[in-house]
């Protein structure tokens, strides 16, 4: 999505041989020299032009800038070091129109800091300002990460961009761990995945489907993502099934919790190893496949010629922007967590805070990036960001939080009256919603095609989960769950897990 006004001319579909083509927009240049039908097949498009050199034999990019050694041509800014005013202008422009408009929310970020340090008795306003102020700070993390990723090989860049987006989540989780908000953390872990695979992916399908009758994506992106999400979901809910299965048994609640905690630690270690294998698969052993897919996807962007000529941050400016953005994100996260108890006293449940409120704000930047890519018909990029962020939440961020909680659970902490460490005994409601979400998304991804109807259905499912989360009660203990306290059975989780496996694996 570029910064020009695309509303000036209504997109009109073109027809050829009875088949619908992509919507044509007024600013689109001459058509590519390849068969447009082949361009639609699983993300394959016209080949990328070869490298260009100046009269002195130096590699140059599309703007004629001499390419610095180690920097990719698409990320070369043509400048060096740092130019503050130029950097500020580029950051305000951001990556797309929607992302640009989030910058008008920066006054809320400043207001949150002023309110917290000078008027901290106004708890509600501190929470509101910090919540809204998190959006532009997270957006700057996403944009600076995108600028940094442009300077690297495609696959490494996508991984880095997704990882920087996850740093916002890691910071928020670590602050929650420090304040022993275990119920909110557990809900936020699954809520983050649900926000990605239902809300964000749904908006990607819907936005892309409005401007393109039907979009396609490569099976290597969708199948690997679906399979990893299934494995991650099974790993996450195993401690939950164990905990709820033994609820009310003669061995006692404390013994069950201790065993569930041990299983959670083992689960965290296994998931971390799975993440390492996933990164190795994507960045090393099969990086050629992913690079071909993503390079082809770049050629599908109608606005690519405009994006290429935009001014870019230098390497120094991109790194500095990431540091500044993460600093503001850290402040907003601390302010938000400190006001959670006040919000809960006003009737907002842990389930709604964790499943809905926290994930939406901490994933705002990633959502805008993915939706922009879907708008530009780059569905492989969009899926890489959406599924990649979900996989990182399950395989990296969650294990890190569990292990950090395990590490800080010293005898002094126990004496102070805090319960710990964190165990993956999720609410039964949250676990079942995760399994059902994977069933829905897995079925939509199977045919390697998407349209706005599938996107709307995903968003509708997310809205229903949000409504249910609003009415879900809080547990009496920070380490317990409402489902276990009411004697609920885990049969629903087992049934949903089995159903998910059958649907996704085609059994």
pLDDT by residue (tens digit) across 291-327? 777 777 777 766 665 666 677 788 888 889 889 988 9
Scanning 94-200, the segments in alpha helix (DSSP H) are 97-101, 106-118, 123-150, 154-178, 182-194
For residues 112 and 333, the answer to whether their CB atoms sit within 8 Å is no
18 torsion bin: left (phi>0), alpha (psi -120 to 50), beta (else) = left
The pTM (predicted TM-score) of the whole model is 0.76
pLDDT at 5: 44
Q: Is 24 helix (H, G, I), strand (E, B) or coil?
A: strand
pLDDT at 266: 93
Helices first, then strands: H and E counts in the chain? 24, 6
pLDDT beneath 50, residues of the chain: 1-48, 410-417, 487-490
pLDDT at 31: 37
pLDDT at 417: 47
CA dihedral 28, 31, 34, 39 (to 10 degrees): 30
pLDDT at 314: 83
Reading the block at residue 103, the tokens are 């910058």
pLDDT at 6: 43
Reading the block at residue 130, the tokens are 């910090």
pLDDT at 466: 92
Query: 15 — phi, psi (to 5°)?
Result: -125, 140
> Interhelix angle for 219-245 vs 491-505, to 10°?
160
């Amino acid at each position: 999505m570029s910064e020009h006004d695309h509303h000036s001319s209504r997109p009109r579909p073109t027809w050829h041989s009875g088949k619908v083509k992509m919507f044509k927009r007024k600013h689109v240049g001459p058509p590519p020299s390849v068969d447009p039908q082949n361009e639609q097949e699983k993300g394959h498009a016209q080949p990328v032009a070869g490298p260009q050199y100046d009269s002195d034999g130096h590699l140059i990019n599309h703007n004629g800038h001499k390419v610095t050694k180690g920097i990719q041509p698409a990320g070369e800014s043509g400048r060096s070091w740092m130019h503050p005013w130029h950097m500020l202008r580029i950051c305000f422009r951001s990556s797309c129109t929607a992302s640009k408009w989030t910058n008008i929310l920066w006054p809320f970020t400043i207001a949150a800091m002023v309110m917290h340090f000078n008027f901290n008795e106004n708890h509600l306003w501190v929470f509101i300002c910090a919540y809204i102020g998190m959006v532009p700070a997270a957006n700057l993390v996403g944009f600076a990460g995108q600028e940094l990723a442009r300077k690297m090989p495609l696959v490494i860049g996508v991984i880095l961009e997704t990882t920087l987006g996850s740093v916002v989540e890691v910071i928020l989780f670590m602050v929650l761990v420090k304040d022993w908000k275990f119920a909110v953390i557990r809900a936020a872990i699954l809520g983050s995945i649900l926000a990605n695979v239902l809300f964000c992916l749904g908006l990607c399908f819907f936005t892309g489907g409005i401007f393109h009758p039907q979009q396609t994506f490569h099976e290597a992106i969708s199948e690997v993502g679906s399979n990893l999400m299934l494995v991650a979901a099974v790993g996450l809910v195993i401690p939950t099934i164990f905990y709820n299965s033994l609820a009310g048994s003669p061995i006692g609640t404390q013994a069950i919790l201790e065993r569930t905690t041990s299983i959670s630690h083992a689960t965290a270690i296994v998931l971390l190893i799975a993440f390492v294998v996933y990164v190795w698969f994507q960045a090393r052993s099969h990086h050629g496949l992913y690079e071909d897919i993503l390079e082809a996807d770049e050629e599908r962007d109608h606005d690519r010629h405009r994006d290429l000529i935009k001014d870019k941050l230098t390497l120094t400016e991109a790194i500095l922007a990431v540091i500044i953005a993460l600093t503001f994100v850290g402040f907003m996260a601390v302010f938000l967590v400190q006001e959670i108890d006040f919000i809960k006293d006003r009737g907002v449940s842990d389930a709604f805070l964790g499943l809905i409120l926290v994930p939406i704000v901490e994933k705002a930047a990633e959502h805008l990036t993915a939706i922009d890519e879907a708008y530009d018909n780059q569905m492989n990029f969009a899926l890489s960001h959406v599924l990649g962020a979900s996989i990182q939440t399950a395989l990296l961020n969650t294990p890190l939080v569990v292990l950090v909680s395990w590490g800080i659970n010293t005898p002094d902490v126990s004496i102070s009256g805090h319960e710990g460490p964190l165990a993956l005994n999720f609410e039964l409601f949250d676990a079942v919603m995760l399994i059902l979400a994977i069933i829905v998304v897995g079925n939509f991804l199977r045919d390697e095609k998407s349209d706005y109807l599938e996107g709307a259905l995903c968003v509708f499912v997310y809205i229903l989960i949000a409504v249910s989360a609003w009415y879900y009660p809080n547990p009496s203990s920070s380490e317990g769950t409402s489902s276990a306290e009411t004697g609920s059975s885990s049969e629903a989780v087992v049934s949903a897990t089995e159903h998910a496996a059958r649907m996704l694996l085609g059994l």
